[in-house]
A and B are shown apart, each in its own frame.
Chain A
Amino acid sequence: MTDERRKWHERLQVTLWTLIVPPTVWAVHFLFSYLWAAVSCAKAGVFAEFPTLFVIGTVLALMAIALSGWIAHRQTRQRGDPPPHEQGTDIDRLRFLAKSTLLLAGLSFVGVLFTALPVVFIGDCR
């Protein structure tokens, strides 16, 4: 019993982590992009034009999201009973969280790209 529960906890923790990682990365990237532009405009008076740091940050964010998406994808593929995976069992719950993470990772990936595009295309503080 105790053994069972520990395993259950462990698994849930892992998937909950991967669940919030993509949107969190997206949020941080979003915040950083806007603060970066605002601070640069207010303090330096010029738009931070496509700085290397921004490119690195964006690539890192995309990689982190892709990685958690990939992990999630692996977990949806865990062996178990045949579909539909809609039972209240541990393995089905895990599959559900993993699938949600995968979808969130897709959304966050596009979100980060959409946040980065204006930085590339708008070169002015106005």
Chain B
Amino acid sequence: MAGKSLVLWSLVLTGCNAHQSALAPFGLEARSTLWLTIVLAAGGLVIALGVAAIYVVAARAPEGKLTHESGMRLVLWLGAVVPTVVLTALLIWALPAMRPLPAADSDLRIRVEGEQFWWRVTYRQDGAEPLLSANEIRLPVDRTVVFELTATDVVHSFWIPGLAGKMDMIPGRTNRLVVKAEKPGTYRGVCAEFCGLSHALMAFDVIAMEPAAFDAWLAEARVRPVGQPRERGAALFAREGCGSCHSVNGEQTARIGPDLTRYGERLTLGAGILAPTAADTAAFIRDPQRFKPGARMPAYDHLPQEEALALAHWLKRNGKPKTPEARP
């Protein structure tokens, strides 16, 4: 019943933006925050209506009906005792929700570094070799996940509205955000701190997966793909020096730009702003500034369209999606 009404509320309030809204939670913290919000809003409404009703009654009461003493008693109860009790109850309810979730050392850690204007993502667990990725975060539902958040250039802020509150990413500092996703699906996160020209074009996809599917994905992603250096795209990639900024084949050596090892499985291009079609990828390679002013990637407008497309097709073959349930 409670769950149903919550879903109903969410539907009414979110319209069609259920993948990026604090009103359509898929995580523990966002869910309890939504409850608090609903209770506060409803409570505020009740109080406002109650005060209005008392006002009407008082204004219409016949002469001599209201005594000074009953008025003072009303002030004592409704002005002091009831607010104190209500505020105490709210404090006792809300304060534990502010307490960070407990996390064990064995929990999955996802390090996310904010850059102008994209996200470097590193999965670490149990001493296994870290896995590098970008602009997309996958996490298992019903498990505690620790985000380690930092930035390399300016202050950014990491916010997945449906999952938890936002957390600043500050250069030289690592902030921890412990979360627990509860509902599998595809969601979206954003940068919530103005960080430059393309701040508003700095988002990422969030894919909450069933634990078994996530484990399978992680294990598979950890297997370094065998490069196909003889392909035309690979040759172009080498010739144009893309490899000085981007890693492919899981080398994790070039880290200036987003890791492109599993680019083919991405849901978006350019940190959540475009569909990752071959045509748009080619257009992005030839002129990143057109889509993202201030982006730290040089334009390759000297590349003929045909070569840019060849590159795009080759990139898109990297890490083809093998988890169909995660596709929107």
Binding site for B on A (CB under 8 A): 106, 110, 113-114, 117-118, 121-124, 126
Q: Are A113 and B88 in contact (CB under 8 A)?
A: yes
Report B59-88 residues with CB < 8 Å from chain A CB.
80, 84, 87-88
Q: Are B95 and A126 in contact (CB under 8 A)?
A: no
Contact of A121 among B80, B88, B96, B176 (CB under 8 A): B96
Min CB gap B99→A, angstroms: 6
B227 is an interface residue with CB less than 8 A from chain A: no
Q: Are A126 and B92 in contact (CB under 8 A)?
A: no
Min CB gap A103→B, angstroms: 9
Which residues of B have CB within 8 Å of A118? 91, 95
Q: Are A121 and B99 in contact (CB under 8 A)?
A: yes
Min CB gap A16→B, angstroms: 24
The count of A-to-B residue pairs whose CB atoms sit within 8 angstroms is: 28
Known contacts A106-B80, A117-B91, A124-B99; 20 further A-B pairs (Cβ under 8 A) = A110-B88, A113-B88, A114-B87, A114-B91, A117-B88, A117-B92, A117-B95, A118-B91, A121-B91, A121-B92, A121-B96, A121-B98, A121-B99, A122-B95, A122-B99, A123-B99, A124-B100, A126-B100, A126-B175, A126-B176
Which residues of A have CB within 8 Å of B98? 121-122
Min CB gap A100→B, angstroms: 14
Report B148-178 residues with CB < 8 Å from chain A CB.
175-176
Residue among A106, A110, A117, A126 with the most chain B CB within 10 A? A126
What is the interface size of chain B, counting residues whose CB is below 8 A from a CB of the partner? 13
The residue on A at minimum CB distance from B87 is A114
CA distance A29 to B100 in the complex (A): 25
Contact of B95 among A106, A113, A121 (CB under 8 A): A121
Contact of A110 among B84, B95, B99, B175 (CB under 8 A): B84
Which residues of B have CB within 8 Å of A123? 99
Min CB gap A86→B, angstroms: 12
Q: List 28 A-B contacts (CB under 8 A).
A: A106-B80, A110-B84, A110-B88, A113-B88, A114-B87, A114-B88, A114-B91, A117-B88, A117-B91, A117-B92, A117-B95, A118-B91, A118-B95, A121-B91, A121-B92, A121-B95, A121-B96, A121-B98, A121-B99, A122-B95, A122-B98, A122-B99, A123-B99, A124-B99, A124-B100, A126-B100, A126-B175, A126-B176
The residue on B at minimum CB distance from A118 is B95
Min CB gap A7→B, angstroms: 31
CA distance A14 to B92 in the complex (A): 37
CA distance A93 to B99 in the complex (A): 48
The residue on B at minimum CB distance from A114 is B91
Which residues of A have CB within 8 Å of B95? 117-118, 121-122
CA distance A110 to B79 in the complex (A): 14
The residue on A at minimum CB distance from B100 is A124
CA distance A124 to B100 in the complex (A): 7
Which residues of A have CB within 8 Å of B88? 110, 113-114, 117
CA distance A126 to B167 in the complex (A): 10
The residue on A at minimum CB distance from B94 is A121
CA distance A101 to B72 in the complex (A): 18
Which residues of B have CB within 8 Å of A110? 84, 88
CA distance A122 to B95 in the complex (A): 7
Which residues of B have CB within 8 Å of A114? 87-88, 91
